[in-house]
Amino acid sequence: MPHLNRDLWRLALPMILSNLSTPLLGMADTAVVGHLEHPYYLGAVALGGTLFSFLYWGFGFLRMGTTGLTAQALGRGDEAEITAALARALILSLVIATALLALQKPISTLAFRLLEASAQAELHGRRYFSIRILSAPATLATYACIGWFIGLQNTRIPLFLILLVNTLNIGLDFVFVWHLKWQVAGVAAASVLAEYTGLMIALMLVARQRRSLSPPGWPKILHWPALRKMFAVNLHLFVRTLLLIFSFAFFTAQSARLGDIVLAANTLLLNLQSFMAYTLDGFAHAAEALVGRALGKRDPRLLRSTITLSGRWTMRFALAFSLTYSLFGEGIIQLLTSLPQVREEAVAYLPWAILLPPLSAWSFLLDGVFIGLTRVREMRNVMILSVIGFYLPSWWALQPAGNAGLWTAFAIFMTARALLMEMYRRRILANLGLETTN
């Protein structure tokens, strides 16, 4: 299918560009506090970022589930269901955001009790949390809008929205932290203002897009079988995403227990992993839309070809990241922090950032494939097995090795996740009557 490569890149390239801005935002957050006078500022941003990974990424199903359901409705040509899918996701996002705001105090208390860190890192982390939580309604509703546009195979609007939010956020970081001297509070305030700006523009673009679609009406939006499917898909994605975020939160928590220097160094190296992951997610997002469309059209040949082609590009980029980090990793670390001890620690463990891209890339791509198929139960099962069966036992056995043992356990987790997802992929394709040796 000669047109498939064009379609893949038409969808993937905008998402790669937009996704790149997200880890760049993380690096900007790191850089503006990494050049302050104390390492605990960097630790505070790491702790605060970890908490919002749980609170916001944990509800990433608002994007992923909306993409899969919208793409399948598009493949069937069901215009009313396309609009209804977004309406349901927006209603759910507002319900969740309201609950987060109402429960912010007990959430904060419990979270910082679990994340053991120095007193100063926790103090500034709590300040970050109290401000950043105000962005919950904007962040979650924007997730739903972005997922909807991806499902419609329109990745240019998500590119615009994500670039707008992250660019504004980065600019406000420098104004609030360096010019106004708000320190960690400035990083949080920048995120809140940027997110609400992004939501206002997203809703304007949704309103414009809806003019070309059939209105669903409330009976369609509240149709019980569709609601039940949405809740089932989102529940499995919620469990899966919480476990994925737990894996990173656990890594951060264990880093904090090894001291502020280790916490700061590991935060820098995780930024390199995130930069790679967000880039490769561009192909996963494209696969979500194309696989969902192929399933809606009942086109097995298109489905098989999409998985094969997107997989090839994903692995090529993963190897390119490993090569880049091996050549320029030390220079990147020096740009991100001026603290000598943090630089030394980060360089010592840089080989792990070089090794991780090819170990984890295949699981990133298959996330997109499974979302497009709405085979999210399998995604949940893989994450449960990877965390409980491999990650935690490896960490427990390797605790005497300190930070080296922590990185080894994390690499084992990523490898297990990729292998288990490949096993499920072959089983799913076999059940669909497709070849199992793509």
Q: Which two tokens stand for residue 156?
A: 């240019």
Residue (of 27, 51, 57, 28) closest to 272 by Cα position = 27
Q: Between these two residues, 433 and 431, which has the higher pLDDT value?
A: 431
Q: Is residue 192 a contact partner of residue 165, using CB atoms and an 8 Å limit?
A: no
Alpha carbon separation from 159 to 90, 203, 290 (Å, rounded): 20, 15, 18
pLDDT score for 411? 96
State how far the Cα of 72 lies from the Cα of 147, in Å rounded to an integer.
13
Alpha carbon separation from 371 to 66, 233, 236, 420 (Å, rounded): 10, 9, 11, 16
State how far the Cα of 293 lies from the Cα of 82, in Å rounded to an integer.
12
Residue (of 101, 88, 321, 308) closest to 220 by Cα position = 88
Query: What does the mean pLDDT of the chain come to?
Result: 84
Q: Does 188 score more than 80 pLDDT?
A: yes
pLDDT class for 46, splitting at 50, 70, 90? low
User: What digits encode the pLDDT tens for the residues 251-269?
Assistant: 988 998 898 899 889 988 9
SS3 per residue for the chain: CHHHHHHHHHHHHHHHHHHHHHHHHHHHHHHHHHCCCCHHHHHHHHHHHHHHHHHCHHHCHHHHHHHHHHHHHHHHCCHHHHHHHHHHHHHHHHHHHHHHHHCHHHHHHHHHHHCCCCHHHHHHHHHHHHHHHHHHHHHHHHHHHHHHHHHCCCCHHHHHHHHHHHHHHHHHHHHHHHHCCCCHHHHHHHHHHHHHHHHHHHHHHHHHHHCCCCCCHHHHHCCHHHHHHHHHHHHHHHHHHHHHHHHHHHHHHHHHHCCHHHHHHHHHHHHHHHHHHHHHHHHHHHHHHHHHHHHHHCCHHHHHHHHHHHHHHHHHHHHHHHHHHHHHHHHHHHHHCCCHHHHHHHHHCHHHHHHHHHHHHHHHHHHHHHHHHCCHHHHHHHHHHHHHHHHHHHHHHCHHHCHHHHHHHHHHHHHHHHHHHHHHHHHHHHHCCCCCCC
Q: What is the mean pLDDT of residues 414-424?
A: 94
Instruction: Output the CA angle 319-434-277, nearest 5 degrees.
Output: 25
pLDDT score for 436? 41
Contact partners, residue 222, CB within 8 Å, separation at least 6:
none
Q: Which of 174-183, 211-220, 309-318 has the lowest mean pLDDT?
A: 211-220
pLDDT class for 438, splitting at 50, 70, 90? very low
φ/ψ of 117, rounded to 5, equals -150, 180
Q: Is residue 45 a contact partner of residue 191, using CB atoms and an 8 Å limit?
A: no
% pLDDT > 70, the chain: 88
Q: Which of 87-91, 226-230, 305-309, 327-331 has the lowest mean pLDDT?
A: 226-230
Q: What is the mean pLDDT of residues 51-74?
A: 80
Contact partners, residue 56, CB within 8 Å, separation at least 6:
136, 139, 140, 143
Q: Does 25 score more than 90 pLDDT?
A: no
**CA dihedral for 110, 113, 117, 123, sign (positive or negative):** positive
Q: What is the mean pLDDT of residues 214-243?
A: 79
pLDDT class for 110, splitting at 50, 70, 90? confident
State how far the Cα of 430 lies from the Cα of 436, in Å rounded to an integer.
6
pLDDT class for 42, splitting at 50, 70, 90? low
Q: Does 214 score more than 80 pLDDT?
A: no
Q: Does 239 score more than 80 pLDDT?
A: yes
Q: Which two tokens stand for residue 177?
A: 């932290």
Q: What is the mean pLDDT of residues 227-231?
A: 79
Q: Between these two residues, 318 and 163, which has the higher pLDDT value?
A: 318
Q: Between these two residues, 141 and 428, which has the higher pLDDT value?
A: 141
**Mutual orientation of helices 224-257 and 403-431 as an angle, nearest 10°?**
160
Q: What is the mean pLDDT of residues 190-205?
A: 93
pLDDT class for 347, splitting at 50, 70, 90? very high
Residue 304 corresponds to which amino acid? R
pLDDT score for 358? 94
Question: In this structure, what DSSP letter does residue 349 have?
Answer: T
Contact partners, residue 427, CB within 8 Å, separation at least 6:
none
Q: Is residue 75 a contact partner of residue 293, using CB atoms and an 8 Å limit?
A: yes
Please state the pTM of the whole predicted model.
Answer: 0.74
